[in-house]
Structure 1
Amino acid sequence: MPDRIVSWLSEPSRPRFVPPPGAIDAHCHVFGPMASFPFSAKAKYLPADAGPEALFALRDRLGFSRSVIVQASCHGTDNAATLDAIARSNDTARGVAVVDPGVSEAELDALDRGGIRGIRFNFLKRLVDDAPKDKFLDVSRRLPAGWHVVIYFEADILAELRPFIDAIPVPVLIDHMGRPDVTHGPGGADMRALRTLLDSRDEIWFKATCPDRLDPAGDPWDAFAAAVAPLVADYPDRCVWGTDWPHPNMQDNRPDDGHLVDMIPRIAPTGELQRKLLVDNPERLYWAR
């Protein structure tokens, strides 16, 4: 078996920023444990175990109360690890699943009962082999009430994806803002394209996440802060935030989770914005019922 990847710090710093009561980490993952929840045969990476106990311990360390666990691509369409983590959370976690396009209504209902509130469509070629838009659209029309669709893509295919996104009949949440080039600032081409998408429909949201992935200059990620703060200010009711722990495929550039949390007041400088980003907005998506 190849060496298993460790992409997170075992002892991140404690953040200076104190999240508001009820704060939600709205984008994180679990890996395994592999002995109980094997990884997909199609997985593009093989991580070390990062199960719910480690996730909830980190959450406590960072000052958060709740989590949204997004199905990691290494687990494919078997959502058992995500469902197990939600079940162990004492109602402090919800989830986003990845499903086979042929998923049945009974299977979707079971996911709903397990705390899933959305599905994720991944268009990153380095992570998935096939992303059939027509079949994804069919699934999006059959979702349980109150669910949304999360879409992960890179900025250079946003124009290609626009007809697909426009046809999705439920709210859409853009993972990591569609990975824009933040080095060009808030007026850069990628950020302008994202704004055009957001302006097209009130039910399109974004995750103000992953400075470690998007800002090549590294920590403290000044370009990310400069590019994203105006976006949060202009769309305060349609943004959420998350750590992205345990940071899939970031083994060569593991971010300090405490520093990620300290980005929050730089992109949401007021108490009102912080509460919307961390509490009110993710509650509407994940705890409304």
Structure 2
Amino acid sequence: MSRIRSWTDSPSKPTYRPPAGAVDTHCHVFGPQAGFPFSVKAKYLPQDAGPDMLFALRDHLGFSRNVVVQASCHGTDNRAILNAIAKSEGRARGVAVVDPSISNPELDALHAGGIRGVRFNFLRRLVDDAPKDKFLEVARRIERLGWHVVIYFEADLLDELTPFMEAIPTDIVIDHMGRPDVSTGPDGPEMLAFRNFLRAHPNVWTKVSCAERLSAQGAPFDDFVESVAPLVEEFQDRVLWGTDWPHPNMQDAIPDDGALVDLIPRLARSKELQTKLLISNPMRLYWPEEWEEEQQ
């Protein structure tokens, strides 16, 4: 399997300037392979995209913090994201992927390393097995740590996964809104179904990210903005945003990170909404101790 690159070496400088303290809540690191080998089950083999590159991009785009999400190419070996968090000087937290047999002391060690959530991936092209019963057991075991569950799925699985999600005792974050069809507008069937799901489940948050994956039109992603901005307005206390750098499997249509950042004021159309999307919501979820102290 040849190694692929799915990110640009020269992202534009965004016109939009994120507010001080802004958090990129969805990004990844790949390796470096010499220290953190990829899983033998990996469906893709990326070039190295380590923490130094991630933090340089963070500064270039104007963000202050990152939430590093375990990429499927690393399987359940979370050492690469723990390494990134350790090098961040307190400016990164993480979401792990764990083997269901993980012990409580191992979970405690992940917590000490900055992990604040666990991810369940239901994308068939990325994972071979997604056992709901074992995932639910993990979700119950992480509740004591104050973690949340991140779930990645495609829109056609929403109904099937709803009973499973309703059994999860923690907050839930849905990656990229469950990948709905945004081409039919905010009241299109998949967007409407997802918004109805959020209305019915107040413990569910979502990331309003990945215009580059979901837009049928491509840049400047007008269909994505038209469909997603109303969701941001309605669920403003439960939305997050992230770059998805280094854009796994996007090697044939590499996005410009600066252009993605410039979508933010089109999705969150007031400074108040932008502050919630980029600061208060992610801080409540990933740095709750700092957030609570600031509110006192």
**CA-atom RMSD in angstroms:** 0.6
Residue number in structure 2 paired with 1:149: 149
Residue number in structure 2 paired with 1:159: 159
Alignment of 1:5-84 (within 5 A): 5-84=4-83
Residue number in structure 1 paired with 2:252: 252
Given residue 127 of structure 2, which amino acid in structure 1 is its aligned partner? V
- 1:113 Cα offset (Å): 0.3
User: Unpaired runs of 5+ in structure 2?
Assistant: 290-296
Residue number in structure 1 paired with 2:196: 196
1:215 aligned onto 2:215: yes
1:241 aligned onto 2:254: no
Residue number in structure 1 paired with 2:185: 185
Q: For residues 51 and 8 of structure 1, what CA distance do their matches in structure 2 show?
A: 12
Q: For residues 54 and 61 of structure 1, what CA distance do their matches in structure 2 show?
A: 10
Q: Is the 8 Å Cα contact of residues 111 and 145 (structure 2) preserved in structure 1?
A: no
- 1:3 Cα offset (Å): 2.2
Residue number in structure 1 paired with 2:115: 116
Given residue 149 of structure 1, which amino acid in structure 2 is its aligned partner? V
Q: Given the two structures, how large is their TM-score scaled by the length of structure 1?
A: 0.99
Q: For residues 171 and 189 of structure 2, what CA distance do their matches in structure 1 show?
A: 24
- 1:145 Cα offset (Å): 2.4
Q: Identity of aligned pairs, percent?
A: 65
Given residue 190 of structure 1, which amino acid in structure 2 is its aligned partner? E
Q: For residues 194 and 38 of structure 1, what CA distance do their matches in structure 2 show?
A: 36
Residue number in structure 2 paired with 1:125: 124
The 3-state SS of whatever aligns with 1:39 is coil
Which region of structure 1 is more displaced relative to structure 2, 106-115 or 140-149?
140-149
Q: Given the two structures, how large is their TM-score scaled by the length of structure 2?
A: 0.97
User: Unpaired runs of 5+ in structure 1?
Assistant: none
1:273 aligned onto 2:273: yes
Q: Is the 8 Å Cα contact of residues 29 and 68 (structure 2) preserved in structure 1?
A: yes
Per-residue displacement from partner, 1:24-75 (whole Å, max 9, x unpaired)? 0000000000000000000000000000000000000000000000000000
Q: For residues 192 and 183 of structure 1, what CA distance do their matches in structure 2 show?
A: 12
Residue number in structure 1 paired with 2:101: 102
Q: For residues 50 and 71 of structure 1, what CA distance do their matches in structure 2 show?
A: 13
Q: For residues 13 and 195 of structure 2, what CA distance do their matches in structure 1 show?
A: 33
The 3-state SS of whatever aligns with 1:161 is helix
- 1:146 Cα offset (Å): 1.6
Per-residue displacement from partner, 1:77-108 (whole Å, max 9, x unpaired)? 00000000000000000000000011111111
- 1:203 Cα offset (Å): 1.0
Residue number in structure 2 paired with 1:284: 284
Residue number in structure 2 paired with 1:4: 3
Given residue 150 of structure 1, which amino acid in structure 2 is its aligned partner? V
Which region of structure 1 is more displaced relative to structure 2, 141-150 or 92-101?
141-150
Given residue 107 of structure 1, which amino acid in structure 2 is its aligned partner? E
Q: For this pair of structures, how many residues does the alignment match?
A: 288
- 1:216 Cα offset (Å): 2.0
Per-residue displacement from partner, 1:208-229 (whole Å, max 9, x unpaired)? 0000000021111110000000
Structure 1 residue ranges, 4+ long, deviating more than 2 angstroms after superposition: none
Q: For residues 80 and 254 of structure 2, what CA distance do their matches in structure 1 show?
A: 23
Q: Is the 8 Å Cα contact of residues 120 and 130 (structure 2) preserved in structure 1?
A: yes
